[in-house]
Amino acid sequence: MTTTSQTSDLPGSADAWRRSLLPDNMLDTWYDRARAALPGSDVPRVFRACLARTIHRSLIPDGDEVAVITGDIPAMWLRDSSTQLWPYLSIVAEDPHGRLADAIGGVLRRQLRLIARDPYANAFNVRPDGHAHDSGDRWGDHPADPHIWERKYEVDSLCFPVQLLARFVELTGRRELLDGLFLGAARSIVDTLRRERHHEERSPYRFERPGGNVLDTLARGGRGSETAFTGMTWSGFRPSDDACVFGYNVPANLHAAAALGDLASLVAPRDAELAADARRLAEELRVAVARHGVVEHPRFGEIWAYEVDGLGGHLLMDDANLPSLLSLPIVAGIDKSDPLYRRTRAFVLSSDNPTFTHGSRLSGVGSPHTWPGWVWPLALAAEGLTAPSAEDAVRLMETIAATTGATDHIHESVDADDDARFTRPWFSWADATFCQLVISVVAPERHVAPGGPSR
């Protein structure tokens, strides 16, 4: 694996190192593939810009690790730093021992260390300098930690890194990351997900943001809204970083079940007992979702709820951020033809979903994290990646490329009637998910989904 001592031998600086990971000739190869498949389209140009940007601007070498900032926020989210790298798995599959593969290995090593350090934190500083999203956050009895940017507990923070590691090992054959650090992080993941099935009785986790809005803090002294045992695992916050209304997020639980299957496969040669525990927990989560996460909708029939609490409360909506109900085929391996998924998808892409917006420029899923009437391109990319036809995927790809506000950046959210109005000037996760959609269309044999090529 490349280390900083090795990268410092490169001419120039860390910038030269980043550009060596994805040189122009490699970018041009993928640009030419897109241009050949989509002649006369703006998609190849935007694709090339997005593909270059994450590697050339967001990676920071640090010893035998690599940090990844999320874009215009100078911190590393466990979720984002995984999803930001998905399209590059298609590249490292062709060069499993090259510099780019080495860099992704460095990111994975950092993720494993951070999970082992604190499985409840969602975002970390590049350096342990004590910077924070909000210095007034209260974590109950947990001590302050200069490594942590934000400590919002989100189930997907433990799952996306596992899936990235699983696909990386499958594609490259490189198992050197499956060491003692990995085993410690794996045990922490399983223990945390199992503990949070009994959140009311066993969880030490607390989070409060005094003076923040209701989406940025947890009720009941930082414990969150009341829940009853269902067998699902609890999450304080959604992948949007907004607080859960009801504590059991259904897509997060299905995502966790898929990730636990990957974890079991990775850990089995070293720890058969832990592998068996992970498999049991995965099955328990699936059973719990089937029992408690499916509700009857008057128009669409049986569909997955977005959140439930085990006390009769449930929330019918979807959020643009992944894992979402819409994205379940790509993040959790749910078959796109599954009748329950198809009914849920129809609901998500309808006006019955309170976050769905029809606009003159865009129509798609948004998020309570931003304003009503704004669409998230991230959700359009997920819609394309789960589309029933290639024609639908191409249409959505073209829509995303045409609504960047003339910036060639894929933004967090966009006014459905005016794409010159947007949030997040540089949102690397959205860039990467757009690239993933493009690769799935122009080079489907090379596309790699988080849920795995075999699911």
Would residue 455 count as lying in a domain? no
- Residue 7: its pLDDT value, please? 40
CA-CA distance, 153 to 122, in Å (whole number)? 6
Q: pLDDT of the chain along its 455 residues, tens only? A: 333 333 444 435 899 999 999 999 999 999 999 999 999 999 999 999 999 999 999 999 999 999 999 999 999 999 999 999 999 999 999 999 999 999 999 999 999 999 999 999 999 999 999 999 999 999 999 999 999 999 999 999 999 999 999 999 999 999 999 999 999 999 999 999 999 999 999 999 999 999 989 999 999 999 999 999 999 999 999 999 999 999 999 999 999 999 999 999 999 999 999 999 999 999 999 999 999 999 999 999 999 999 999 999 999 999 999 999 999 999 999 999 999 999 999 999 999 999 999 999 999 999 999 999 999 999 999 999 999 999 999 999 999 999 999 999 999 999 999 999 999 999 999 999 999 999 999 999 999 999 864 32
CA 340, distance to chain mean position in Å, is 23
Q: Is 241 left (phi over 0), alpha (psi -120 to 50) or beta?
A: left
Closest CA to 112 of 198, 48, 176, 29: 176
Residue 453 lies in a domain: no
Of 243, 237, 231, nearest to 78 (Cα)?
Answer: 237
pLDDT of residue 12: 54
402 falls within a domain: yes
In a domain, 440, yes or no: yes
Q: How far apart are CA 309 and CA 360, in angstroms?
A: 37
DSSP 364: E
Provide, for the chain, the percentages of residues in helix, strand and coil under a 3-state DSSP scheme, each rounded to the nearest 5.
Answer: 45, 10, 40
Question: Omega before 269 cis (within 30°)?
Answer: no
* Residue that is written with structure tokens 């924070």 in the block: 132
Pairing outcome for strands 314-315 and 75-77: unpaired
Strand runs (DSSP E) across 147-293, as ranges?
148-150, 248-249
Q: Residue 43 contacts by C-beta under 8 Å, 6 or more apart in sequence?
A: 34, 397, 398, 401, 438
pLDDT, position 302: 99
8 A C-beta contact, residue 23 and residue 60: no
452 is a domain residue: no
Q: What angle do CA 347, 161, 338 make, to 5 degrees?
A: 30
- Cα–Cα distance for residue pair 455/167, rounded to 1 Å: 12
Q: Given this model, what pLDDT does residue 40 score?
A: 96
Contact 423, 370 (CB under 8 A): yes
Q: How many domains does the chain have?
A: 1
What residues make up the domain containing 408?
4-446
CATH number, residue 120? 1.50.10.10
How far apart are alpha carbons 402 and 261 in whole angstroms?
A: 38
Instruction: Tell me which residue of 287, 378, 383, 394 sits closest to 336, measured CA to CA.
Output: 383
Alpha helix stretches (DSSP H) within 316-411 = 328-331, 339-348, 377-385, 390-402
Assigned domain for 381 exists: yes
Residues 59 and 18: beta-carbon distance below 8 Å: yes
Residues whose CB is less than 8 angstroms from the CB of residue 272 and which lie 6 or more positions away in sequence, other chains included: none
Give the number of residues written for the chain: 455
- DSSP code string of 225-249: S-----SSPP-SB-TTSPBPSSSEE
Does some domain include residue 86?
yes
The pLDDT value given to residue 454: 33
Looking at the domain assignment, is residue 454 inside a domain?
A: no
Tell me what pLDDT residue 13 has. Answer: 87
